[in-house]
A and B are shown apart, each in its own frame.
Chain A
């Protein structure tokens, strides 16, 4: 498939990867800088020696990075008609801004504040209350709690057990030195990527980036290894129950799978299994109507699956009063492993191709996917084309080989009384 995108990419002399996408006729520009460190970066290895960061270090640093030369960088950015923000996932931290004005000056600021650490004890201490409030905001959302407890039950030591925000204790004890160490290890330009999606001409922007980056030579090019250990195939806990101030129970049934090696093989498996699950646990399955009629599921019901080189899982979830019936239906689905029909495969394949096409219009999704493909070391367009190369037999072969024997059930019940 031709994606008809005007893309330029380059690795600069300091090692920074730059990818610029020109979107003709658009007003907006979105630029982001990605750092290959997130919630998983607790144990790291450099030059053969290991060190341990407090949990939530990547996220805490994300909050602190908006200072430049002692002032909040959002002020000069706003003065240039640019709105800045950031997020931290398990595997990366991303800083970005968008504007319909000329993006060059805000882009210089983005490069400057991401590549300059400007923190002190006062700024770090001030941030603790804000991050604890963010933690509390997620903590009182039952779906968030369900996901956290599902990962906590499936894994013994894997980073999925940790919140991206870290523990409240680690947040409250965070020190300037912790953040400095983390920054020095992970924010060298040779590890980073800068992605821009813009309606403006990209050649002069690329020239400007190249020139501006001369200020930031690579000082710590040593590769940092994120250590993720999970030796056991079994789950940490087969059952977990807790209570919350909610109206109706939430339940998840998680299955821990064995990760496989190879980035493209994982992408293919992830695509195939998700395709199978989407038609199995959704409105394309005639039984879905029965589950609704019998009130075993409601709108809050679904399935999540992720297959990567360090972890693989599938979990079904629902908000339901009929917990036992929900367990029975999930157990039936995973024991039968009903193959995808030719007709359903075709239907899902077309839908996936359409989703890929639409993604190219979404600046945020496109930019973030380009960041992830760089960090995970695969070609974004080659990955998109996998859906066209997939066939029904391959999907069904993956499904037949799924091992659902390592299971964990998490239930969140309404508080009594």
Chain B
């Protein structure tokens, strides 16, 4: 168990992360499991009892979530509570400990609530199709070759929901119990809570396998909907792993392209051409992929595509100033430094370093890596980029 001790937050935060294999045949069950275990426990078997107990423990907060990291999916159980020296109540810490134990170790896997979990989860999956941006991203990931983990939707599949039984969810929970775990707490954690966390079983060093998407034949899809504007999503193979010496140059290049406060996509496509309100790039680091998303009018799509390609080429040919490079670096350094102001940010970074086996990672070492990135490295890493997928969810009947 990792304890990040700090006195500056009102809340103490705990995250227990279980590492599970990311497979198409099990991901839907893991998602549905969350709906089953998140709102009742053995000793608080109804929603009323559970939510009342949370309120009375000064709004103790819980959150369950799944996120994909290459071939692995992490199920996070997050708990945050107001530190006990802020609360002038004798039995407050006992209440907190009772709830932590109930939430982490005694969720109620009740067959009676299985139908509710199925209903709520399938409703959430269906809602994704209402949002053109989500639909475009989902469709783009589905076009990635199925040999890559990236092609598996971490949020699960609506077609698989119907097939899942209560026994499947019990088995999924057994998987979670048996899974390798990482535990991290941040704040001014009290001794009894620390002792409890130290005694949790199953903690071990994770091993994450990464399978990078490779440059391949370009796939393209257009979907028409009766909507106000077109969602354009592109996926690029970066051919750059986290262990690659050009990994930090890739992070800086992504900031310059579409993630930083000043970026080429924003400047050229939004500010110069007024083609959109929102455009950005983001990295799927464990998969060696970059995602570019833009909301625009159908008639502009072809030119937007051209302009995106041009901005990538600018980076690949060194057509940018030292000032652009420095601004991107400063933005990244600011992000690294501001992580120390968020308990969950520090926990995330700890997990990330653990999953990559980075033993000597510190904020300063990461800042040094960012600072050492050169223009030449940006050129090299961006010349590796290859577009592999594009999806347009576009306005029905509009002129191109």
B130→A283 contact, CB < 8 A: no
Q: Please tell me if B47 contacts chain A, counting CB pairs below 8 Å.
A: yes
B55→A134 contact, CB < 8 A: no
The answer for the CA separation of A361 and B82 in the assembled complex, in Å, is 11
CB neighbours (8 Å) of B228 from chain A are: 135-137, 139-140
Q: Please tell me if B127 contacts chain A, counting CB pairs below 8 Å.
A: yes
The answer for the CA separation of A242 and B194 in the assembled complex, in Å, is 55
The answer for the CA separation of A81 and B14 in the assembled complex, in Å, is 31
Closest Cβ neighbor of A247 among chain B residues:
B126
Q: Tally the A-B contacts, defined by beta carbons under 8 Å.
A: 168
Q: Please tell me if A217 contacts chain B, counting CB pairs below 8 Å.
A: no
Q: Please tell me if A104 contacts chain B, counting CB pairs below 8 Å.
A: no
A78-B260 contact, Cβ under 8 Å, with A100-B337, A137-B277, A289-B46: yes
CB neighbours (8 Å) of B59 from chain A are: 350-351, 354-355, 358
The answer for the CA separation of A84 and B39 in the assembled complex, in Å, is 39
The answer for the CA separation of A115 and B190 in the assembled complex, in Å, is 49
A348 interface neighbour in B55, B273, B297, Cβ under 8 Å: B55
Give chain A nearest CB distance to B85 CB in angstroms.
12
Give chain B nearest CB distance to A202 CB in angstroms.
17
B331 interface neighbour in A81, A128, A351, A353, Cβ under 8 Å: A81
Q: Please tell me if B142 contacts chain A, counting CB pairs below 8 Å.
A: no
B334 interface neighbour in A79, A101, A246, Cβ under 8 Å: A101
B129→A134 contact, CB < 8 A: no
Q: Please tell me if B110 contacts chain A, counting CB pairs below 8 Å.
A: no
Q: Please tell me if A74 contacts chain B, counting CB pairs below 8 Å.
A: yes
Interface string of B11-53 (1 = CB under 8 A from A): 1000000000000000000000000000100000011101110
A140→B341 contact, CB < 8 A: no
B130→A247 contact, CB < 8 A: yes
B261 interface neighbour in A84, A286, A361, Cβ under 8 Å: A84
A79→B326 contact, CB < 8 A: yes
B341→A79 contact, CB < 8 A: no
Interface bracket on A: 35 or more
B334→A99 contact, CB < 8 A: yes
Q: Please tell me if B275 contacts chain A, counting CB pairs below 8 Å.
A: yes
B327→A78 contact, CB < 8 A: yes
B274 interface neighbour in A130, A135, A286, A292, Cβ under 8 Å: A130
A78-B47 contact, Cβ under 8 Å, with A27-B340, A299-B120, A415-B226: no
The answer for the CA separation of A292 and B228 in the assembled complex, in Å, is 32
Quick check: which of B2-10, B202-210, B235-243 contacts chain A, the rest being far away? B2-10
Interface string of A224-255 (1 = CB under 8 A from B): 00000000000000000000111110000000
The answer for the CA separation of A348 and B59 in the assembled complex, in Å, is 9
Give chain A nearest CB distance to B112 CB in angstroms.
9
Q: Please tell me if A319 contacts chain B, counting CB pairs below 8 Å.
A: yes
Chain A residues 346-392 with CB under 8 Å of chain B are 346-348, 350-351, 353-355, 357-358, 360-361
A300→B127 contact, CB < 8 A: yes
A353→B341 contact, CB < 8 A: no
The answer for the CA separation of A282 and B26 in the assembled complex, in Å, is 31
Q: Please tell me if A75 contacts chain B, counting CB pairs below 8 Å.
A: yes
Q: Please tell me if B310 contacts chain A, counting CB pairs below 8 Å.
A: no
16 A-B pairs with CB atoms under 8 Å apart are A74-B261, A75-B262, A78-B260, A100-B334, A101-B330, A101-B334, A133-B275, A136-B297, A137-B229, A247-B130, A284-B55, A319-B127, A343-B52, A344-B52, A351-B54, A358-B10
List the interface of chain A (C-beta within 8 A of B): 23-28, 72, 74-75, 77-79, 81-84, 98-101, 126-131, 133-137, 139-142, 199, 244-248, 282-286, 288-289, 292-293, 295, 298-300, 319, 343-344, 346-348, 350-351, 353-355, 357-358, 360-361, 415
List the interface of chain B (C-beta within 8 A of A): 6-11, 39, 46-48, 50-52, 54-56, 58-59, 82, 86, 115-116, 119-120, 123-124, 126-127, 129-132, 225-229, 260-262, 270-271, 273-278, 295-297, 323, 326-327, 330-331, 333-334, 337-338, 340-341
Known: A78-B260, A283-B48, A361-B11. 7 other contacts (CB 8 A): A75-B327, A81-B333, A128-B274, A130-B277, A299-B123, A350-B59, A357-B82
